[in-house]
Amino acid sequence: MYFRLSNTAQKEIIEKWTGASFKYPNLYSPQVLINGLNEVSIPIISMEENDKLVWSIWGMLPKNYVEDWVVFQNLSNTLHFHIKAMNSNLWYAAALRSSRCLIPVTGFFTSYIKNGESFPHFISRKNGDPFYLAGIYTILEDGFYTCSLLLGKANTFIEKTQNMVHTAPLIIDRTDTKSWLDHNTSLYSCQQLLQQPEGDHFQSYSIAKELFNHDITYDSMLEPYDY
């Protein structure tokens, strides 16, 4: 479900808010809609370079994977993983211990089904500031980063805007970023950092249904739309 993000902040705002600088600043431009079902790159802050915003392909790949991204995604969509899966012995689970990242965004989307129709909602901070989604990543043999979002149980605020799933992207509070990226932070402490607040600083509203058309994006698509 969580295949789309939004990051409309200007480069200077992202750098000031995160305290990190873009490694390749000319590659960044604000995006109303980032569609992860296509092969896209998004900025992340990694444990290796926690003072840099580096580019990462959204949709994690194993470190030694050599085939195309789309081939792997057809086998296993890795745009996101549930936090419970981090307790398994699957190939990506160890990343929670050693390869955590911060994914700065200005919003994400949920969906509500009513009377046989689906209605998209946009989740953002009330003041319009960016915020961090929790993520994990790999670095491929050619040096490219690939990443995935972490999902957990949706809080009451998010549950009001969706009725398709009970999960939501996990948000890292700005005050917890140093601990999240610290190699010495224990697995238990990492899981505690992912306890979600009730969303007092966030807002949700319905937007136009063109969100579901993968080929359409326009500047005003994030404006509230009443059905």
Could you tell me the pTM of the whole model?
0.95
Inside any domain, residue 218: yes
Inside any domain, residue 163: yes
b/e sequence 90-116, b meaning 16+ C-beta within 10 Å: ebbeebbeebbbbbbbbbbbbbbeeee
In 3-state terms the chain splits into helix, strand, coil percentages (rounded to 5) of: 25, 35, 40
Which domain CATH number covers 94?
3.90.1680.10
Q: Tell me: the pLDDT tens digits for 32-84?
A: 999 999 999 999 999 999 999 999 999 999 999 999 999 999 999 999 999 99
Shortest CA distance to 123 belongs to which of 160, 87, 92, 98?
160
DSSP, res 87: G
Query: What distance lies between CA 186 and its chain's CA centroid?
Result: 22
Helices (H), the chain: 11-18, 69-75, 95-98, 156-159, 177-180, 187-193
pLDDT range class, residue 198, cuts 50, 70, 90: low
User: CB–CB of 172/132 below 8 Å?
Assistant: yes
pLDDT range class, residue 116, cuts 50, 70, 90: confident
Inside any domain, residue 227: no
Inside any domain, residue 55: yes
- What counts of helices (H) and strands (E) characterise the chain? 6, 14
What is the pLDDT at residue 211?
66
Sorted by sequence, the CB contacts under 8 Å of residue 52 that are 6+ apart come out as 20, 21, 22, 23, 45, 46
Higher pLDDT, 148 or 218: 148
Q: Tell me: the pLDDT tens digits for 160-194?
A: 889 889 999 999 999 999 999 999 999 999 989 99
- Number of domains the chain contains: 1
165: its two tokens:
């799933």
Q: Which domain range does residue 56 map to?
A: 4-222
